[in-house]
Every structure is written in C-alpha cells, then in structure tokens.
Amino acid sequence: MVDNTYENTNAGASGQAAPVGGGDVAATGASAATAAAGTPDATVNAAAGTAAKTTKTTRRKAAGSSSKSSRSAARTRSSRSSKAAKPVVENGAGHAVPIAIGEPNEFGRVDIMSFAPSVEDDVFPARVELGEPFHVSAEVFMEGRAKVGATAVLRNARGKAICTVPMTETNAGLDIWEATLQAADHSDLLPWEDGYADIKKQLGHHTVVIQGWEDTYASWVRDARIKIENDDDVENTLEYGAKLLVRWAKTRDAGLSAAGKKQLTEAAKVVANTDLSSEERLAAADNDDIAVLHAEHPLRDGLTESRPHPFRVERPKSSFAAWYQFFPRSEGAYVDEATGKIVPGNFKTAVSGLERAKAEGFDIVYLPPISPIGTTNRKGRNGALVAGPDDPGSPFGIGSEEGGHDAVDPQLGTMDDFRAFIARAHELGLEVALDFALHCSPDHPWVKAHPEWFNTKADGTIAHAENPPMTYEDIYPIAFDNDLEGIEKESVRIMNHWIEAGVTIFRVDNPHTKPVRFWQDVIAAVEKKHPEVLFLAESFTRPSIVRALAYAGFTQSHCYFQWRNTKEELEEFLAETNGVGGYYQHNTFWPTTPDTLTEYVRDNGVAGHAVRAVLAAMGSPSWGIYNGYELIENHQMPGTEEQADNEKYEIKVRDWSKADEYGISVLLASLNAARAKHPACRSYHNLTVLKTDDPSIVAFARRTDGRYSGTGKDDTVIVVVNLDGHNEHKTLVHVPLDELGLPTDRPFKVRDELTGREFEWSWENYVSLAPWADVAHILSVEV
C-alpha cells in the first residue's frame, strides 16, 4: 500500500528532490529554495547549477588540503548557496531557505538527528518483509519559535520514491517525529509461482530519508491568532499572511491542484481586504478547508533532507513463516513383523510428512541433513558411544564412501526421488528447508582431499567435535584459518547444488561455531545468484553472536524462547523480540527441537504443550514445531534437556492416529489459521504487552492500522494465556484502548479464534482460564 500524499516534484530536472552533497543531512539544494519561493524555471536551474558547482569545487579542495582548509571551503560553499537563493522578505519577515550540505557533520537549514531504527552507523540495514509496516522516527527542529514539518520517504534501489508519509510530532518537547511506512503490499507468492518475478522487482536495498522544513503557514497562523486577540500589529500580520498564501499557491513543490491554488488565492484576497474585520480576514485562511490543504500539500520552506538510511526489503516468508520439522527416515517407518526390525522411511513415504504439515497450516518443511552417514565412531541410541548393527547413525555425521554434502543417503532414495519430493511440496504450497551442517564424519571425502580443513591434536590425529563434557566422536569440525577462501567456495557450491534441486531455505547448524565473516561471504555469494534463498541460524549462544549473524545475512534466528517461562521473562522477551531489535534479528519461536526439551514442557503435559504453542505462534511472526509435539513426546534424557529416545540417533515409528487423543494437531491448525487470517500477526513491530493482575497470566495485543492491513480495516488481536498447566487462574486484563485505537466510550465485541465464543470487552476485562477448559484466548476485535 503506497501513499504518495506529496513528494518534492520541483527540485531538479528529474522531478525528485535533488540533494546537494552526500553528507549526513543532504539539503535539497537551491533549486528547492527558489521553487518554494515561486522563482521561474531559469532561475531555479541557474541556482541549482551554482550550488552543484560550488559543491564540486569544495570537494576538489577538500581532497588535497588540510582539515582547516576543508572547513573554510565548507563555510564558503554554504555562503554561496545562500546567495544563490535569497529569501523573499515580506514586511520584514522572511522564510527559511535551504543550505547546501557537503560533509557528514554539517547541518542543513532544518536540523535532523537521531534517526531510528539505526545500528552501527547504518552499516547494516534494517530488515522488513515486503508489505510489513515499519516505524521510523527522528528529531526534526529549527532555531527559535519556528514551527517545522517532516516527511518520511521510502525509496527503492533505483532511487524512486515508492512511499511518502507525513510524520507526526509525538513529543514536542524532544522534537520527536514519527511515521509508519510500508514497501508495497503483503504477498504470499513463492519463488516458483507465477507472478513472483514482479515480487522480486520490489525487493532489495531501499533507503529512507527524512525531509524537514519550516512550516511557515503554521507559524503564521499561531502568531496571527495571538496578535489579533491582543490587537497587536494586526495589519502587518494579515498583509504578510495574504502574501504567504499567494506564494504557497505558486509553489510547485506543494503539488496543488488547480482548485487548491484557486482556494488559496481567493483566501488571500479576503485576508488582504481591509474592509472586513480582522477576525473575518483571518478566518479565510484559518479554517478546516485550508487545514486539509496544509496537511496534504504544505508549503515547505528551507526544505532539508537527511542522508539516506538503509533498509532491506525481503521476500515473503522472510519474517512471517510457520515451520514444520520432520525426519524423512521416520515418515512411513514400520516394524517388520517377520524380523522385528524397523524398516525406515524414504523420500516417497515422507510425502506423509508434507501432507501433515499442510493439514496443520504450516508453510515451510524443514529436513535435517539428507546426505550419506558415516560409520566410523557412529553413535547408537541416545548418543551411545557404540552403535548397534541396526543403528542408523546421526544425520549430522555427514559423509561416507557414498559421498559427502552434495550426495543423497541411499537409504532415503536418489536425487531424482528428492526432486520429486520437493515437487510434491511445491504442489502443496510448501517450501523445503534443508539443514546445512558444516562438519563431517571421519569417512567424509574431505578428510582425504582437504586435510588442511581440519584441526589436529598434538599426536597428529584430527580433533573431533566437543563441547565438554559432551563429545562428538562421529564428527570432525572444520578449521577456517588455513583455507578460508576454499571452504567458502565449496560451501557456496554445495548450497547452489541443493538450490538447483528446489531447496529455497537453509537452516544452518551451529553457525556460531564458525567465523561470522565466513557466513557473511557465503550468504552474499549465494544471494548474488539466488536472492530468493533464506537462512535460519540455529545459534543458541550469546546475544552478541546471534545479532552479528543476523547482521551477516541470516534471515531468521533460533532464540531463547524455550527458556522464557515465567510471566516476567515472557513479557521482557516478547517486547525484545518485537521491538527495535526485530528490525535486525528475526527471532523464531520453537517450543521444542530434537536437541531441546525444557522442564516446562516435560512437567505440564498436554496443557503445557498447548500453552507453548499459543505463545510461539502468536508471540512471533515466525514460529516452528518439531514433529512428535502432537503426540506429547515430552520425555527427557536423564540429566539433560534433550529428548529421550532422540530421533537424531534412531528411526521413530509413530502411531499418528493417537494425535486425536490430545488435540494438539487441531490446535496447531487453528493457530496457523488465525495467523493467516489476521494481518496483525505478520509484523515484528506491533506488539503491546498488557497489564494483568495474576502472576500466572500473560497478555499482549497486536495491532495493524487499516492503512497497512490490506483490508482497509484496523486489525487487532488480543492474546491471553494461563502459564500454569495444572491450575485455574483469574485476572483483570487492562487494555489501553486509546493506544490501540479501540473505542473508549463503549464496549466492543471480541471473538475467540480458538472456540468461536464472543465477549464484550473494554478498559478492564475479567478472564478466567483453566487448563482443563481453555489455556488461552486469542481474541479478534470486531468494531
């Protein structure tokens, strides 16, 4: 949804605002100044040429002179630019004129500072999904009592303004101005679908600039009201106002229609008519009709533009995604009655996993590594150091005499079987994500071909992976200091190999154990050829490394959601995930994984699984489920937070008919249906934590303004969850109606997306949740 309410159409021959210089606050130059003053085109072009020529001269001097000379040149340039466009003086009162800017530390005529979101001096762009509303703010101000206005402009990679929004001053004392922008509309198109080429054109590196200007009209109205009320210099004030209205009507930057110009000129005649009372004269310029013109087509004096701030607009599913993980070898596996041995599944039987994921409303299917598994030091059940003759080994022990990272495990099938599996996924509207684990078994071809890629012990043997007290004798980690370039090249080759087979997403295993620069190089190389590919970082580690990996190009990140279980922990983590950090790091909420099963999930039974699913699905735009969750697989390996009978080391034979006994699969489908229905669930930037009185009940709301919802209607969802899987809890939920744009003078109707029941809500709302009835409400607001 694009709102081009107004854009500078008069600065320079291109019809767009033409910054002079490349500094921190890039003024639109003398051409904008003279245009604002109603100067003829010849004068506009001459003034613009003077400013540009002066800037080039300054840059040449700066390249070969001292800092003192640079400062002197800058002062000279600013002085000349001021001369190029002198202010129009009316009865002693002038209006602001742009000041050219050539250095990052120079201010323009209007001061613009503290742009947000911004990190690391804008080295890394903020990231949003196509159609996802996002918030920007800045300090915009001038000297003295002058009023200012501000506009936020989103430009695409070609420099074209695609969204222009007037900003609102939200804190006058601190000069803070804010706006919400949106790059096009939300889309669910996938990379292989018809029409995606048009989506692709809208992606990539964008910029946001803040335009600030002196709001001469608003300043005049404020002063005129006071002067007329106090009978102070009334005639001069009104005469100045009449001339201001005429100048406004002639200013092409305002983008006025013929009717708007006529409205202003007619108003100017009344303001200048000395036969009328001063109140009548002012009323001609101070009324609702003129206020509309002022809001939509303002007179912008001293127009100043900030430096561009980078934003990366990413494809559908980069932020709003629902993941489903399963092991192909367990899908369709069964016990042979004759031998008593497990017959593993393969890519053909694994279609059942695709169909289950689709039925439950997920849109990404994630597979662990599918390459051949080594036999040297192969681990047995639950990670036993000695494997039995029928133990299949861990898929993460990659590589054998049958091939390495670019080969398919023969037990699963052939490459053609894998392509057919992906084709079926695409028919169902599912993306396939593949695990990329950059380590290998002792049997991997790399061990002989590239011994320099591995660390060795003092005795000359290759060091296996370890995280004391845990050891992974079946895995050799990669060393990056001997041949970083070669390892990067091979990693890119492998990823491209799987992309050509139909993979569109990589879930990367333990990226935090490799150099961040390595991933930055690899992801950039892959995206250069395949910009549609997404990356999920499985990095349960320190926040600094997780954030750095996000900066390096990981689209989404595993996070510590699983260990945030108390009300206080959840409220803090929800705000963090959906706050400013959400522009750079997209936390994906998973209740469990094959590696992690918390005490909360272990101890709270079916209700606990339901609670964590609701929090994951509604607390983040991106969430995921590891299969078996529907069957309440919640037994821990003793002394650990890992799943007992871990699927990493064995083939699971599951009876999926038992899922009906628990109802979790139905809940998962309901959660994904609610997410798909409500635009408010798509954003990392619209969550408000709600106050509740009970320490076991957490509540939050998501709201998307109707201008950005795609439906034209505001969309608000309120989530209330009882964290106690054993006991009933009651509370009052306090809703800040004014902040959420909800009715403040009457109750409004809410509908529970999980049960269909309806309630009336207002400021204070009584809620009772019992784990044997409802663990949560997901309430859609109907007003």
Catalytic residues: 509, 538
| H-run or E-run covering 536 | strand 534-538
Distance CA 379, CA 637 (A): 15
Alpha-carbon torsion, ordered 679, 680, 682, 683, to 10 deg:
140
Per the CB < 8 A criterion, the answer to whether 714 and 782 are in contact is: no
Please indicate if the annotation marks 379 as binding a ligand.
yes
Consult the annotation and say whether 649 binds a ligand. Answer: yes
State both tokens at 27.
């003024």
CA distance 166 to 180: 9
Measured in degrees and rounded to the nearest 5, phi and psi for residue 570 equal: -70, -45
- The residues, any chain, with a CB within 8 Å of residue 605's CB and separated by 6 or more, are 632, 634, 725
* Whole-number Cα distances in Å, 630 to 347, 663, 733, 771: 22, 8, 30, 17
| 474 assigned to a ligand binding site | yes
3-state secondary structure 169-225: EEEHHHCEEEEEECCCCCCCCCCCCCCHHHHHHCCEEEEEEEEEEECHHHHHHHHHH
Q: How far apart are CA 303 and CA 281, in angstroms?
A: 29
- Angle at CA of residue 549, ends 545 and 550, nearest 5°: 120
What residue has token string 């085109």? 41
Maximum Cα–Cα distance across the chain: 110
Characterize the bridge pairing of strands 321-325 and 334-335. Answer: unpaired
Phi, psi of 200 (to 5 degrees): -55, -35
Residue 436 main-chain phi, psi, to 5 deg: -115, 105
**What amino acid occupies position 701?**
A
Cβ neighbours of residue 655 closer than 8 Å, sequence gap 6 or more:
631
Q: How far apart are CA 159 and CA 155, in angstroms?
A: 5
For 717, phi then psi, to 5°, come to -125, 130
595 annotated as a binding-site residue: no
Answer for the pair 729, 696: CB distance below 8 angstroms, yes or no.
Answer: yes
Q: What token pair was written down for 226?
A: 């006071």
List of E strands, 215-337: 301-305, 309-314, 321-325, 334-335
- 237, 145, 289, 260 alpha-carbon torsion, rounded to 10°: 80
Tokens of 320: 């709003």
| Nearest CA-CA partner of 48 in 8, 100, 87 | 100
Output the known binding site.
Answer: 379, 474, 510, 648-649
Output the known binding site for alpha-maltose 1-phosphate.
Answer: 379, 474, 510, 648-649
